[in-house]
């Protein structure tokens, strides 16, 4: 359920000579949630108090100068930042009256946008794709700025998002009909490029909006044919294959566009189920009317609509339950409300008192109409489907066949081979992939083994990700990845291959445990597995109890009735681990080994090939993970790939079985073995205490529940 409330006018729009120009460059918030910074299309920046519709301050550049990007608020220094004439960065405070007398610096390249976020330093995005932090740029304004984009590639849209203490800058580009998304991650600086799929209509997206949801970056974009697509990019690192990757998308909404295509329109996500759209015809209104609408993407229903007077500029901003929409000669602020979706509310069958409907609202179309559409729409959809099929057939006719790609693998250059293999995989269906993936992988591996200069990590990774490949089909693939130190490919194989031999598993373990932490930290790994380790290490930074027993008590706990506690001065909290004994990414790779299927009888002989220091380090890591799992403060996030407690215990037992004699004779392992013994004692005591209340717990199952239990009650149960 969603509603649009009665709006109000925040300000009048500046009239320009060119009526096609956008009247507002941007709207941003400052430190006060009731303040809005409005940058017009010419020379002025105005700070408004939204609730009173009153200007609190206004700053203007001289005649002949132009503001070329929206002003933003620096949350760290409490200053405002704007760019004039593409290269002049101006910084001022509330008390500054004359913008021309404020601080300004001229940079060496044209600026596209300045982006700011609470708690973060503003970032400057240049027109050629480079990104700089504002402070470092102002300290040396004439520093050289490199070109990230190709010569004819231009930026069309950009934004920034802070996710999990990471600052991201997202921007889209266009070049000769091809549209791409760049994701720039700051600290550490990484850049990933994605190719947006082309729409059958061929037109560029009219608008983009980005949001953070479930620790992922969600990109929403609207096409002239009324299709609203969503793409998802991982926020915790990126699974970066080399080169430009096609960004997967899903159709969230198909808006009615009437005759022709949309012109000035925009869509912005309000929550996981609702989208605000401006500039799209209302399905129940006559043509020539412009509306602001809220659509439910889960049920494809129109939830609220409000007619807007005057020409629509195809712009909408969303901040704190308010939509800012320029139309006609005014900038309107329209409060909205979105509630949890249900089928009844989507169909308008639920009544919600207190939600006012605007006088200019139009009736919501019926569920049956949205499912089946008007009779005139049927043939149109069929024609579109046939067009898309013909388009796919023409593309397939121009592409290389499997046999041609196999021949190319034998002699072609690395870049061409990788491009054609990835293209073949992306367009093939499941049955075709099942037959061709194994052949492609074997040919790629064979040539890589024969020619040291030939290696295609991106193509191999994409073949593995099809899940049509296993170790027995291409037995040298995982060993080749180890040889080339391609740890991302190793991780994929360990995750997706169900039949890895124990000797290869041990080879991976030996390589991972021996590689320096610094070499692995620079590698991009699967985001969920990295997220798990980050959460585990963060949980370890806090104190906590272990299964109800604090670490110092572990030294006192014993299953031996004759055990005498040590004097207080001899107690040592040996189980209070300070840090993970290995680096974060090395730990992620070790976790993949822990989750690999194996047979004890076949694995044990190969574990004996590990040297003592490798065994001690691996046991220390297993002890570390076990310790964190035992902490009550750590809660595992569902969906993140991680080893289980039984897997950890099984590996500890296997390592002790393979190296117990050597460990007992090694002085460096004495403390480690003592800690492991304490772990066993704590578990024995825990199960002993649970056994004492077992009979009482069994009695609870026999008790009859009271039938007079309301939605909230407190019931006291006495155990004798």
Would you state the torsion angle of the CA atoms of residues 439, 441, 445, 447, taken in this order, to the nearest 10 degrees? 60
Residues 610-639: pLDDT tens digits?
999 999 999 989 988 888 887 654 555 556
How many percent of the chain have pLDDT more than 70?
A: 79
Nearest to 497 by CA among 513, 510, 483, 481: 481
> Is a pLDDT exceeding 90 seen at residue 189?
no
**Res 707: pLDDT:** 62
Tokens 């006719």 — which residue? 397
Q: Tell me the average pLDDT across 594-598.
A: 91
**Res 401: pLDDT:** 80
Residues 640-668: pLDDT tens digits?
778 888 898 889 989 988 888 888 888 88
CA distance 702 to 493: 49
Burial track 519-539 (b if 16+ CB lie within 10 A, e otherwise)? ebeebbbbbbbbbbbbbbeeb
**Res 719: pLDDT:** 61
Residue 124 burial (CB count, 10 A) = 25
Q: What is the DSSP annotation of 78-104?
A: TEEEEEETTTEEEEE-TT---GGGSEE
Strand 322-327 relative to strand 154-163: parallel, antiparallel, unpaired? unpaired
Q: What is the DSSP letter of 365?
A: P
Residues 172-184: pLDDT tens digits?
999 988 999 999 9
CA distance 516 to 391: 50
Reported confidence tier of residue 706, pLDDT bands at 50, 70, 90:
low
Highest averaged pLDDT of the listed ranges 76-90, 241-255, 543-557: 76-90
Reported confidence tier of residue 548, pLDDT bands at 50, 70, 90:
very low
**Residues in a beta bridge with 47:** 37, 57
**Res 309: pLDDT:** 83
CA distance 629 to 546: 8
Please, are residues 579 and 631 in contact by the beta-carbon 8 Å criterion?
Answer: no
Residue 269 burial (CB count, 10 A) = 21
Strand 245-246 relative to strand 190-195: parallel, antiparallel, unpaired? parallel
Residues 84-104: pLDDT tens digits?
999 999 999 988 888 888 899
Q: 306: which 2 tokens?
A: 């409000």
661 CB-contact burial (10 Å; exposed 0-12 / middle 13-18 / buried 19+): exposed
Q: Helix, strand, or coil here: 426?
A: helix
**Residues in a beta bridge with 324:** 317, 333
Please, are residues 207 and 325 in contact by the beta-carbon 8 Å criterion?
Answer: no
Q: Considering only 135-139, 172-176, 236-240, 317-321, which range has the smallest mean pLDDT? A: 236-240
Q: 200: which 2 tokens?
A: 């059958």
Residues 424-437: pLDDT tens digits?
888 765 455 666 78
CA distance 290 to 293: 10
Please, are residues 209 and 222 in contact by the beta-carbon 8 Å criterion?
Answer: no
**Res 214: pLDDT:** 81
Residues 349-407: pLDDT tens digits?
443 333 333 333 344 444 344 334 443 344 333 333 444 444 444 444 457 788 888 88
Residues 116-154: pLDDT tens digits?
999 899 999 999 999 999 999 999 999 999 999 988 999
**Average pLDDT of the residues of the chain:** 80
Q: Considering only 126-140, 563-577, 588-602, which range has the smallest mean pLDDT? A: 563-577
Nearest to 54 by CA among 20, 23, 9: 9
How many percent of the chain have pLDDT more than 90?
A: 36
Nearest to 210 by CA among 198, 196, 220, 200: 220
CA distance 452 to 432: 30
Q: Is 346 left (phi over 0), alpha (psi -120 to 50) or beta?
A: alpha
**Res 243: pLDDT:** 73
Reported confidence tier of residue 114, pLDDT bands at 50, 70, 90:
very high
Sign of CA dihedral 55, 58, 63, 68: negative
Please give the residue that has the higher pLDDT: either 205 or 376.
205
State the first-to-last Cα distance of the chain, in angstroms, to the nearest integer: 51
Kind plus residue range of the DSSP H or E element containing 674: helix 670-692
Please give the residue that has the higher pLDDT: either 553 or 458.
458
């Amino acid at each position: 359920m969603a509603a649009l409330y009665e709006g109000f006018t925040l300000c009048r729009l500046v009239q320009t000579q060119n009526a096609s120009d956008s009247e507002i460059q941007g709207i941003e918030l400052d430190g006060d949630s009731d303040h809005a910074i409005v940058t017009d299309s010419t020379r002025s920046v105005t700070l408004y108090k939204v609730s009173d519709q009153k200007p609190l301050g206004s700053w203007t550049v001289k005649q002949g100068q132009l503001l070329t990007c929206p002003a933003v608020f620096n949350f760290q220094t409490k200053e405002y930042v704007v760019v004039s004439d593409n290269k002049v960065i101006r910084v001022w405070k509330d008390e500054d009256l004359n913008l021309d007398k404020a601080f300004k610096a001229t940079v060496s390249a044209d600026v596209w946008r300045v982006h700011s976020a609470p708690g973060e330093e503003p970032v400057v995005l240049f027109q050629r794709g480079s990104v700089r932090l504002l402070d470092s740029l102002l300290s040396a304004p004439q520093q050289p700025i490199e070109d990230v984009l190709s010569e004819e590639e231009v930026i069309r849209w950009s934004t920034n998002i802070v996710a999990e203490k990471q600052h991201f800058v997202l921007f889209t580009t266009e070049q000769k009909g091809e549209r791409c998304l760049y994701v720039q991650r700051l600290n550490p600086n990484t850049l990933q490029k994605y190719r947006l799929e082309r729409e059958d209509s061929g037109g560029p997206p009219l608008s983009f909006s980005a949001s953070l949801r479930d620790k992922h970056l969600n990109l929403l974009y609207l096409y002239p044919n009324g299709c609203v697509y969503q793409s998802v990019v991982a926020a915790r690192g990126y699974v970066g294959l080399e080169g430009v990757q096609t960004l997967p998308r899903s159709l969230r909404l198909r808006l009615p566009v009437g005759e022709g295509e949309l012109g000035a329109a925009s869509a912005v996500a309000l929550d996981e189920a609702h989208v605000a759209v401006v500039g799209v015809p209302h399905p129940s209104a006559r043509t020539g009317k412009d509306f602001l609408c809220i659509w439910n993407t889960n049920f494809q229903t129109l939830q609220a609509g409000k007619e807007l007077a005057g020409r629509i500029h195809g712009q909408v901003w969303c901040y704190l339950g308010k939509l800012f929409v320029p139309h006609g000669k005014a900038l309107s602020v329209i409060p909205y409300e979105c509630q949890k979706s249900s089928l009844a509310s989507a169909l308008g069958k639920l009544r919600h008192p207190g939600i006012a409907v605007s006088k200019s609202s139009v009736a919501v179309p019926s569920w049956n109409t949205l499912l089946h559409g008007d009779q005139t729409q049927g043939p149109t959809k069929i024609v579109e489907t046939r067009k898309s099929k013909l388009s796919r057939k023409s593309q397939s006719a121009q592409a290389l066949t499997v046999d041609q790609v196999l021949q190319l693998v034998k002699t072609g250059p690395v870049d061409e081979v990788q491009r054609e293999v990835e293209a073949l995989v992306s367009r093939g269906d499941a049955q075709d992939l099942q037959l061709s993936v194994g052949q492609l992988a074997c040919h790629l591996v064979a040539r890589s083994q024969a020619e040291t200069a030939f290696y295609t990590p991106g193509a191999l990774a994409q073949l593995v990700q099809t899940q049509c490949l296993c170790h027995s089909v291409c037995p040298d693939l995982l060993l080749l990845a180890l040889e080339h130190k391609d740890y991302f490919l190793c991780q994929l194989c360990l995750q997706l291959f169900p039949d890895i031999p124990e000797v290869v598993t041990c080879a991976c373990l030996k390589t991972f445990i021996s590689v320096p932490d610094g070499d692995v930290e620079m590698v991009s790994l699967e985001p969920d597995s990295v997220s798990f380790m980050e959460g585990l290490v963060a949980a370890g930074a806090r104190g906590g109890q272990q299964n109800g027993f604090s670490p110092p008590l572990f030294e006192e706990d014993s299953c031996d009735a004759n055990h005498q506690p040590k004097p207080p001065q001899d107690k040592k909290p040996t189980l209070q681990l300070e840090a993970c004994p290995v680096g974060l990414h090395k730990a992620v790779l070790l976790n993949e080994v822990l989750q690999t299927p194996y047979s004890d009888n076949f694995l044990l002989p190969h574990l004996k090939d590990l040297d003592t220091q490798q065994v001690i380090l691996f046991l220390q890591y297993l002890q570390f993970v076990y310790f964190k799992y035992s902490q009550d403060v750590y809660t595992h996030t569902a969906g993140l790939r991680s080893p289980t407690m039984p897997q950890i215990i099984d590996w500890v037992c296997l390592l002790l079985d393979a190296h117990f004699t050597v460990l007992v004779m090694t002085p460096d392992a004495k403390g480690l073995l003592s800690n492991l013994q304490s772990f066993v004692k704590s578990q024995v005591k825990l199960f002993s205490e649970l056994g004492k209340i077992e009979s009482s717990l069994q009695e609870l199952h026999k008790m009859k529940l009271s039938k007079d239990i309301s939605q909230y009650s407190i019931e006291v149960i006495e155990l004798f």
